[in-house]
Amino acid sequence: MNQLTPRERKLAAIGLAVAALALVWLAVIGPLLLGFAERASQRERLIAQYLQNERMIARTSALRRAAEKQAQGAADFVVSARDADAAAELLKTRLADSLTRAGGELRASEGVEAQPGWVRASVSGVVSYPHLVVWLDRLSNEPPYLVVESLSVAADRAINSNHLDLMDVQLEASIPLAPAHAR
């Protein structure tokens, strides 16, 4: 083996020093800096989560008030009865009473098969057009609010008299059932 010249020794020493520095960087400093960067990123995520949680906590009183208001108004959208048969009777009575109060004549009232959690009823009667408008307005705007499933209007008498006379109407309506708690 030949002896290295001073210049070659200097280059080899510089090469070994660069290799040692690269090894120290890769083995110690790089992972250390990477750990700092990961912890900083995690800290930012945690701060964002903390701020979001603070906003959520600040809104809980408003959300609680809104939920209480909705709970108070829930009775306007359901019929409360001990069972479905009693609720169907209440619905039939409401439909029949509102028809007669509006100026119509009740012909028939019956319960109709409904999906679980709902009650459904049907009424038939004779009513004039202005009274029909009053009846539908009352059904639409008086709580508990119900769903008019179908409305059938037959104005056969108008053909014979050439003016709008009494009409035969049949209405089916439904409403959600809220079982009343036994006391």
What band does 1 get if pLDDT is binned at 50, 70 and 90?
low
CATH 2.40.400.10 describes domain 78-179:
no
Strands, E assignment, 4-78: none
Q: What is the mean pLDDT of residues 48-76?
A: 89
pTM of the model: 0.61
What residues does each domain of the chain span?
A: 1-75, 78-179
Look at 82 and 49; give whichever has higher pLDDT.
49
Q: What is the mean pLDDT of residues 149-163?
A: 84
The amino acid present at 173, given as its one-letter code, is A
- Please report the pLDDT score of residue 181 as a whole number: 60
What band does 179 get if pLDDT is binned at 50, 70 and 90?
confident
Average per-residue pLDDT in the chain? 88
pLDDT exceeds 90 at position 76: no
- Please report the pLDDT score of residue 182 as a whole number: 46
Question: Which two tokens mark 62?
Answer: 């408003």
pLDDT exceeds 80 at position 98: yes
Judged by DSSP in three states, 147 sits in strand
- Please report the pLDDT score of residue 183 as a whole number: 41
pLDDT per residue as tens digits for the range 142-155 = 888 899 999 999 98
pLDDT exceeds 60 at position 72: yes
- Please report the pLDDT score of residue 36 as a whole number: 85
DSSP string across 34-50 = HHHHHHHHHHHHHHHHH
Q: What is the mean pLDDT of residues 130-134?
A: 93
CA–CA distances in Å: residue 160 to residues 132, 155, 164, 166:
20, 10, 10, 12
